[in-house]
A = this chain, B = another copy of it.
Amino acid sequence: MVQATSLPRNEAGIAAAVETLQQRFGDQLQTGQAICEQHGHTTTWITNQAPDAVVFPTSADEVSEILQTCAEYGVPVIPFGTGTSLEGHVNAPAGGICIDMMRMDSIIAVHAEDLDVVVQPGVTREQLNTYLRDKGLFFPIDPGANASLGGMAATRASGTNAVRYGTMKDNVLALEAVMADGSVIRTAQRAKKSSAGYDLTRLLVGSEGTLGLITELTLKLQGIPEAIRSARCSFRSVDDACRAVMMTIQYGIPVARIELLDALSVRAANAYSGLDLPETPLLLLEFHGSDAGVVEQSEMFTSIAEEFGGFDAAATSTAEERNKLWQARHDMYWASLQLRPGAKGISTDVCVPISRLAECVGAARDKAESMGLMAPIVGHVGDGNFHALLLIDMDSGIERQKADDYVGWLNDLAISMDGTCTGEHGIGQGKRPYLQKELGETIRYMAAIKAALDPENIMNPGKILEM
């Protein structure tokens, strides 16, 4: 694992806060080593930094009480959802109190006529979609993991559907949040749009728990489309596939998903999911619309794909075939790990302007090969976002160093292409140096906002910013 930097601990304050919270919350607070380590642990490759206690609030008022106690003693608070973040977001580098939000898991109100829903932060996206299904509605953001909606907002998550439906920033109408001083605020009303002052909703989305703790979300919903059609097409090269993507987007075909698997990923999917796809770069697509509309979209895509040498194209509107293909896509993480049993997967997350995508993906693959790294690539290519999953033997110092070098090299490349080091995973601890490279002096103003809203730096310290 990569060593995370520790920050100075306020031992006396932590002891006092834990005691005060223990008296107030009883069994709702846990200090056992296993539970603390579990709450520092995520799918990250960064070493575990456990909190000193984990508290399980059931309401915004309880979160506010916890914040007031922690503010009084100057003790860090770290929010926790499903622990599926990737960059050390839930580590406790200065110790402190982890606030596990998963008991706040109520769906408070569905406003079907307004296409919105009010939820607590511990509701997961699958829980929400299961609840909504018989109402003919769905929440489109799908980062793969069955993450909590509070965590998805906090990291500005997106995933396969973002090309059509946007990211969390586009799908949160309003937030309730507890601020560093314990105040409970609402960022906006429930209207679909507003020009009412600073956009605190968007400021909190992606702030990774460093500015406020989300205790309620009002989310936009979509009607389940009349028809869903999926399609796939193989290509001779990543370059051809990326050009087909670019043309599809330029033509304004409203694809709901357009995903790239490189040849290595297809090999992994064939083996893991019992498929028989040509082991060359593959695009997987999904179209949402009317019965006629999805066929039209799918045919338009196929004719574009043919221009770029696409072959073995297939499309289907039946749920069974579609699910099989998308299940394989969703299982890519596990399928990729099987390419090298025992290895740990370290995911990159660059996002570049789509005109640079083919070049960036090609360079990423060539670099991995030249460094002797196995790194299957999948991408949300309609947005220019892709992940190379480095399969690393974490017991090998040489391999860990290579992985670190590769991540740094790829982030630098993306930034040089006017792209970002993180399309959807966030900064956490791991990407702080790259955020600096990407935005430079701009970070000073982020730090000024952080200092203004959290003067004692108790809100998830050591994340996003070097403070």
Contacts and interface: CB of A to CB of B under 8 A. Distances in A.
B442 A448 contact: no
Contacts of A367: none
A351 B192 contact: yes
A250 B425 contact: no
A191 B420 CA distance: 6
Interface stretch (A25-33, A198-206, A315-323, A370-378): A198-206
Copy number in the complex reads 2
A355 B111 contact: yes
A464 interface: yes
Interface stretch (A123-131, A178-186, A302-310): A178-186
A415 interface: yes
A183 B293 CA distance: 49
A403 interface: no
B449 A197 contact: no
Interface stretch (A35-43, A155-163, A337-345): A155-163
Interface in A346-361: 349, 351-355
Interface stretch (A95-103, A112-120, A264-272, A279-287): A112-120
Interface string A165-181: 01101100000000100
Interface of A: 111-116, 155-158, 162, 166-167, 169-170, 179, 183, 185-200, 202-203, 205-207, 211, 222-223, 225-226, 246, 249-252, 254, 290, 292-293, 296, 300, 349, 351-355, 383-385, 414-415, 418-427, 431, 435, 438-439, 441-446, 448-453, 464-465
24 contacts: A113-B250, A113-B354, A113-B355, A114-B355, A156-B199, A158-B193, A169-B199, A183-B444, A185-B445, A186-B442, A189-B438, A191-B352, A191-B419, A193-B351, A193-B423, A194-B420, A194-B423, A195-B424, A195-B426, A197-B435, A197-B439, A198-B207, A203-B449, A445-B453
